[in-house]
Amino acid sequence: MSIGTFDPGLKEDAGLAPFAAGARESNLFASVSRALAPVLFAVVWLAATGTAFAQCTGAGAPSNTETKCLTAVAIPGGLTSFDISFVNPERSEYYLADRTNKGIDIIDTASNTFKKRIFSSAFPFAGIQADNNHSGPDGVVARGRCLYTGDGDSTLKVFDIDVGEHGELLQRVDTGASPKTRLDEMALSGDGHFLLAVNNAANPPFATLFPVDDDSCTVGTGFKIEADPSVIPADNQGLSIEQPTWVELTHRFVVSVPTTINNPTANCSYGSVNPGNPPCSGAILVIDPTHPVTPVPLADTISLINCGPNGATVGPHGNVMVGCTPGNQPTNLETTIINAKTHNYVDVGNLTGSDEVWYNRGSNRYYTGSNRNPGGAVLGVVDGTTNFLVETIPQSPGSHSVAADSRRNEIFVPENATGPVSAGICGGSNGCVAVYSAPSTDE
């Protein structure tokens, strides 16, 4: 781990992004339910297929790691393509943007069983298209019964997940990308009153800030936010913006920007500009939802050093992990953790190539969906106190998504139906959602 001017002694308790809140479940009934879940699931799978498959075997289930493969949840229709995932521990629900089956899959995290699929027959999700920029569903977040997700046609779809077998589509909001490209990742503020959703493939890319009424599960008129043109030019050469997250310490959203121009020098390369020169690094945009402005002022743009990030998540003391990846900047070999208040940082060595990243309060660890890690895709595990890499666990080639239930200390990693690692974890060739268990902070 290489160290910048990071200050680990910052005393303020940052709180957490909404998805990482909640205390660890400890009652006897829950413990028994969790212990029985793999057995019950195996019985269900056997009844459905007529064949018993061994799960959690092979390279993706090593015996010498602290993070243990617990079980695998089969997805009706199989799983070949997916995007982002999310956990609401208060409702014991995991949500996955499932492009294979054109819906949002919900898994019950108390029993680790498939629960239902959210979709609208009138306005179906795009599913798997010719390219990533037009496929969907994409980003997903939830609060209570309200679920928010992006689609491949630049629309935000808002569902009440408690209504009916497949939920009720309450709103379909066009965010205005032209041409129509996907509405990607998103985040809610800690109080649930604001939603920030990102059009990463637009030219130039932009975010939309929506006011939210979580009593009715509806959003109001959105406010469009772009980066300063000196950070992402109007003809953006394919530059984008990626995962936002909420920082309770500063009451701000932060957004990962994979590549920015002139960082660190005016001669760095991006898109087709300055080919052959060292690549430009990325940045973080800081957005105040109570006083939004566009473009984001340069003072609220934090340049990163040798990091082209996709994911973003908030850990202790307002520290933000951003998922640097050689997919954005070929020289990236580490993962950066930067403090949202001081901007001091550390680099976590021997881990890179992540898309979604997630902090789990129950285990005080960060988890990374590092599908572009050199040597193969891994689930990365980083200690939230020391910021050191704990371990990596091999995953299927497309495993770029990760989310955790902080009450149960379980980590959910979708596995596509590709290769021996997926087959060993899933117990077959149809893909699955792998469930890992983690040591808790009170053990």
Instruction: List, as one string, the DSSP characters of 150-209.
Output: E-TTSEEEEEETTSTTT-EEEEEEE---SS------EEE-TTSSEEEEEETTSSS-EEEE
The tens-digit pLDDT sequence of the chain (443 residues) is: 444 433 333 323 333 333 233 333 333 333 334 444 444 444 344 434 445 579 999 999 999 999 999 999 999 999 999 999 999 999 999 999 999 999 999 999 999 999 999 999 999 999 999 999 999 999 999 999 999 999 999 999 999 999 999 999 999 999 999 899 999 999 999 999 999 999 999 999 999 999 999 899 999 999 999 999 999 998 889 999 999 999 999 999 999 999 999 999 999 999 999 999 999 999 999 999 999 999 999 999 999 999 999 999 999 999 999 999 999 999 999 999 999 999 999 999 999 999 999 999 999 999 999 999 999 999 999 999 999 999 999 999 999 999 999 999 999 999 999 999 999 999 999 999 999 999 887 64
The answer to whether position 89 is within a domain reads yes
How many CA atoms lie less than 13 Å away from 417 in the CB half-sphere?
15
Which helix or strand (DSSP H or E) is residue 425 part of? helix 419-426
pLDDT score, position 234: 86
Radius of gyration of the chain (CA): 20
Short-list 143, 250, 242, CA closest to 197: 242
- How confident is the model at residue 440, as a pLDDT? 81
CB 274 within 8 A of CB 320: no
Is residue 441 situated within a structural domain?
no
pLDDT at 114: 98
Distance CA 13, CA 306 (A): 28
Q: Which of 435, 423, 428 is closest to 113 using CA atoms? A: 435
Burial class (CB in 10 A: 0-12, 13-18, 19+), 166: middle
d(CA 216, CA 235): 39
Q: Let me know if residue 196 belongs to a domain.
A: yes
Whole-angstrom distance, CA of residue 187 vs CA of residue 175? 15
Q: Which of 79, 208, 75, 191 is CA-nearest to residue 139? A: 208
Residue 426 domain-assigned? no
pLDDT value at residue 46? 41
Q: What is the pLDDT of residue 52?
A: 52
| Amino acid (one-letter) located at 361 | R
Residue 438 lies in a domain: no
Determine if the peptide bond prior to 204 is cis (ω within 30°). Answer: yes
Residue 418 contacts residue 400 (beta carbons within 8 Å): no
| Residue 379 domain flag | yes
Give the domain CATH number at 182: 2.130.10.10
Task: Flag whether 210 is in a domain.
Answer: yes
Give the pLDDT of residue 4: 46
* 41, 71 Cβ separation under 8 angstroms: yes
50: Cβ contacts below 8 Å, ≥ 6 apart: none
- How far apart CA 108 and CA 78 sit, in angstroms, is 18
**Angstrom distance (rounded) from CA 420 to CA 396:** 8
Per the structure, the count of domains in the chain is 1
Q: What is the pLDDT of residue 442?
A: 65
Nearest alpha-carbon partner for 361 in 125, 87, 156: 87
Report the distance separating Cα 392 and Cα 370, nearest Å. 9
430 in a structural domain: no
Q: Which pLDDT does position 53 carry in this prediction?
A: 73
Domain span at residue 204 reads: 2-53+79-405
Dihedral through CA 395, CA 399, CA 403, CA 405, nearest 10?
A: -40
